[in-house]
């Protein structure tokens, strides 16, 4: 009986701690979304875009301009489609989630729980685009200065796990043929998500955005 009471108390305490942590996280997400940051006036010299699939967000930039030619970093011969790209999209996220869940129908509870609660390895998702994105419900555009574009470029490049200054391609990984996956720096957890990475990219570009963004709608709302 005493053992049963001890186990019951332990389970109640565990559940209470979990619920308290969940409530705290929700409050942080809400408050972080409501607090704006950045947004200084700047020259409108480079057009960039933010795109969302409803869960994940990417930063889309020109494949080549006077400031940056991404062919110096990304080998387009690794791609089956859109090798003559005019724009390139970058996204960062949990490696297991990216590679094991090509569609939401294939999402496993173990993959989701591991991504949320355990610091896990990450990957960069790179997509070549043959045409310029069109502003829509899930696509937003912004113009930034050349100086801030170079800061954005640095943020993106530093997100790759480089070896001899080259991204490490994850072989055999692609959704559509116009995209590939590469090894990435940092670890994924509930305070460092794919959308908080995009939010960090927006901050580096000097644009107005949320102090913390866990979800794509928060990012798009500021655009």
Element (H, E) at 4: helix 2-34
pTM to 2 decimal places:
0.86
6 domain residue, yes or no: no
Instruction: Let me know if residue 13 belongs to a domain.
Output: no
Looking at the domain assignment, is residue 20 inside a domain? no
- Tokens 């020259």 correspond to what residue? 43
| Contact yes or no for 180/78 (Cβ under 8 A) | yes
The answer to the question of residue 11 being in a domain is: no
> Between 194-204 and 146-159, two packed helices, what is the crossing angle to 10 degrees?
150
Domain count, the chain: 1
Please check whether residue 46 lies inside any domain of the structure.
yes
For residue 119, what are the domain limits?
35-221
Percent of the chain with pLDDT over 90: 57
Please report the DSSP string for 165-199 in residue order. Answer: TEE-B-TT--SSSSEEEEEEEEEEBTTB-HHHHHH
pLDDT score, position 59: 98
Mean pLDDT confidence for 143-149: 96
Write the DSSP string, 127-176: EEESS----BTTEEEEEE-HHHHHHHHHHHHHHB-EETTEE-B-TT--SS
Chain-centre distance for alpha carbon 95: 12
Whether 137 maps to a domain, the answer reads yes
Residue 73, SS3? coil
Compute CA distances 126 → 129, 163, 182, whole Å: 10, 17, 8
pLDDT higher than 60, residue 11 = no
Predicted pLDDT at 109 = 55
Q: How far apart are the first and last CA of the chain?
A: 59
Confidence check: pLDDT of 35 > 60: yes
Calculate mean pLDDT across residues 193-200.
Answer: 94
Determine which of 38-42, 55-59, 117-121 has the lowest per-residue pLDDT on average.
117-121
What pLDDT digit, counting tens, does each position of 94-142 carry?
A: 888 777 665 554 555 555 555 566 667 899 999 999 999 999 999 999 9
Lowest mean pLDDT among 28-37, 45-54, 162-171, 211-220: 28-37
23 occurs within a structural domain: no
Q: Does residue 216 belong to any structural domain of this protein?
A: yes
């Amino acid at each position: 009986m005493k053992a049963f009471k001890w186990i019951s108390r332990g389970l109640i305490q565990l559940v209470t701690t979990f619920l308290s942590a969940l409530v705290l996280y929700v409050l942080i997400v809400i408050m972080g979304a409501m607090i704006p940051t950045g947004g200084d006036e700047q020259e409108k010299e480079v057009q960039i875009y933010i795109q969302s699939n409803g869960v994940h967000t990417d930063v889309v930039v020109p494949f080549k301009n006077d400031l940056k030619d991404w062919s110096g970093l990304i080998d387009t011969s690794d791609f089956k489609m859109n090798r003559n790209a005019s724009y390139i999209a970058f996204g960062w996220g949990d490696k297991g989630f990216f590679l094991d869940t090509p569609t939401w129908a294939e999402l496993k509870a173990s993959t989701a729980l591991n991504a949320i609660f355990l610091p896990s390895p990450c990957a960069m998702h790179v997509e070549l685009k043959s045409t310029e994105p069109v502003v829509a419900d899930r696509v937003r555009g912004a113009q930034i200065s050349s100086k801030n574009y170079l800061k954005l470029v640095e943020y993106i490049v530093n997100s790759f796990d480089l070896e001899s200054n080259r991204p490490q391609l994850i072989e055999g990984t692609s959704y559509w043929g116009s995209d590939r996956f590469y090894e990435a720096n940092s670890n994924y957890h509930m305070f460092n998500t794919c959308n908080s990475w995009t939010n960090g990219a927006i901050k580096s570009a000097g644009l107005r955005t949320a102090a913390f963004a866990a979800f794509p709608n928060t990012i798009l709302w500021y655009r």
